[in-house]
């Protein structure tokens, strides 16, 4: 079967694919298929994830009716295709939950991770360590070949560091400090990040659902 990730973001694709490894699952993304996603206008992460997932699912239904729109891939039929969409972001308690659903474009368009980090650190200047608590949240929608939807969430808590540290990861990873590991997420190898990150935890749940469904356990 094939899992299509409803994203063009190479960082997300790599993180999710690093978790969803199974001999029966071929992971693809919108880098492989020409699907235009709508703007992220939802008030919550899950609302944005739903819109992305349903957009791709509807595209596949169109393909079933008119096959030339989407090339067949190595024996993969539409009836074997799953869709996985996510929306994620950073919740900072001292900022009343900001940047939230605006995490990727917090400092404006186009998306600039370094500029986002600089803005966030500036807003937290002078805020003591104990009040810099934050949470990474990843909401996912998994759609099976029959259109059944599964809602998934992954969450990791930590705090915002005083400055950037680490060259790995992307987004807010260089300033998201993990007290139990004494480092930022950006200082972790990708293999370690996948085990504890919000996106990694959510992707693991998605994999479990797919495997159980295929094995007839659901």
Active site residues: 87
Q: Alpha helix locations (H) across the chain?
A: 10-19, 45-65, 113-123, 190-196, 198-214
3-state DSSP of 144-208: CCCCCEEEEEEEEEEEECCCCCCCCCCCCHHHEEECCCCEEHHHCCHHHHHHHCHHHHHHHHHHH
User: Which residues contact residue 133 at a Cβ distance below 8 angstroms, ignoring those fewer than 6 apart?
Assistant: 92, 93, 94, 157, 158, 159
Residue position matching structure tokens 């999710």: 16
In 3D space, the residue among 145, 153, 146, 142 whose CA is nearest the CA of residue 207 turns out to be 142
- The encoded tokens of residue 171 equal 């987004």
Half-sphere CA count of 170, side-chain side, radius 13 A: 14
């Amino acid at each position: 079967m094939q899992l299509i990730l409803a994203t063009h973001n190479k960082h997300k694709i790599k993180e999710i694919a690093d978790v969803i490894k199974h001999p029966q699952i071929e992971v693809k993304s919108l880098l492989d298929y020409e699907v235009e996603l709508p703007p992220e206008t939802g008030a919550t992460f899950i609302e944005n994830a739903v819109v992305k997932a349903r957009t791709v699912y509807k595209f596949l239904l169109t393909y079933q009716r008119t096959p030339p729109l989407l090339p067949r891939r190595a024996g993969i039929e539409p009836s074997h295709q799953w869709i996985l969409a996510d929306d994620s972001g950073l919740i900072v308690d001292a900022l009343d939950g900001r940047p939230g659903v605006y995490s990727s474009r917090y400092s404006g368009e186009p998306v600039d991770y370094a500029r986002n980090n600089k803005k966030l650190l500036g807003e937290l200047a002078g805020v003591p360590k104990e009040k810099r608590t934050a949470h990474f949240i990843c909401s996912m929608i998994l759609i099976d070949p029959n259109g059944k939807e599964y809602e998934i969430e992954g969450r990791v808590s930590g705090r915002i560091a005083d400055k950037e540290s680490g060259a790995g990861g992307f987004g807010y990873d260089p300033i998201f400090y993990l007290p139990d590991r004494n480092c930022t997420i950006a200082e972790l190898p990708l293999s370690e990040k996948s085990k504890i990150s919000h996106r990694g935890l959510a992707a693991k749940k998605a994999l479990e659902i797919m495997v159980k469904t295929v094995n007839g356990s659901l």
